[in-house]
Structure 1
Amino acid sequence: MDHPLITRLITEFGYPNLVTPEDVAAFTGAPGDHVVFVPGDVRRNLETPDVAVILPELRQAFQGRFDCAVAGDAVEEAVREAAKVFKTPSLIFYREGQVIGGIPKVRDWTEYVERIGQILALPVAAE
């Protein structure tokens, strides 16, 4: 995960760095809507820095409707598996500890806004 734009999300924006399954459960299970940024291998995936720049702008565009965190290397695979979103970088959306959607790879702004609006409008599935 070593990339200055990903580090900036944690240090400048204060996004939690989720490094254990317990971190993921605590963050995604808190009240409200949440996004976990799954960066993937930044050395192989040239889109990762782009999504790291776009995410704070998306949060602002949605007026803080969701909070954000970064999946650390140790939990990335488990987060992708649980969400069934295997491509990276990806944004995985949660509510009440449940995955409500995911957006893999970098998208254009209009598509992000449309898809995030659709995801946030979804109800949580009854268990």
Structure 2
Amino acid sequence: MSHPLITRLTTEFGWPRFEDMGSLEDWRGGAGAHVLFVPGDPARNLETADVAVILPELRQAFQGRFDCAVCGDAIEEQVRNETKVFKTPSLIFWRAGEMIGAVPKVRDWDDYMARVAHILSLPVAAE
């Protein structure tokens, strides 16, 4: 199930939407930092639309220090189980194929700024 604001992320911004784990693994293993938006059910969770609006603003605020993608319905449960980030909507961060952090649920702007800055500053064991 999608929402117009989630669809906008893939159509207007050109972010990939992953429906299989292999494609997701290839993407998150690439160079740089990556953020996967795990929307949950937008019909049941009104915060999903809020995070769909906030994520492009975060990317801009951090001057493109991470790329973004959307988790498709087909793999959402598997991603949540793998990362142990069960609350949605959530933003899950990876670098060099390793999860480096997550921001579940909607937050106020200052909280996002602090959490994302902290996550992006974390080292990865493989680096």
Provide the TM-score with structure 1 as the length reference. Answer: 0.97
The aligned residue for residue 120 of structure 1 is: 120
The aligned residue for residue 71 of structure 2 is: 71
Inter-partner Cα distance in structure 2 for 1:56 and 1:112: 12
Q: Which moved more, 1:36-45 or 1:78-87?
A: 78-87
- The percentage of counterpart residues that share the same residue type is 67
**1:62 alignment partner AA:** F
Deviations 1:5-46 (A, max 9, x none): 000000000110011011110110111000000000111100
The aligned residue for residue 50 of structure 1 is: 50
How many residue pairs align between the two structures? 126
Provide the TM-score with structure 2 as the length reference. Answer: 0.97
Match of 2:43, SS state, is coil
Deviations 1:30-82 (A, max 9, x none): 11000000000111100000000000000000000000000000111111122
- CA RMSD of superposed structures (Å): 0.8
**2:40 alignment partner AA:** G
Match of 2:59, SS state, is helix
Q: Following TM superposition, where does structure 1 have runs of at least 4 consecutive aligned residues deviating by more than 3 angstroms?
A: none
Given that 1:83 and 1:101 are in contact with CA atoms closer than 8 Å, whether structure 2 keeps it comes out as: no
**1:92 alignment partner AA:** I
**Unaligned ranges ≥5, structure 1:** none
The aligned residue for residue 7 of structure 2 is: 7
**Unaligned ranges ≥5, structure 2:** none
Deviations 1:67-99 (A, max 9, x none): 000000011111112211100000000001110
Q: CA deviation at 1:125?
A: 2.7
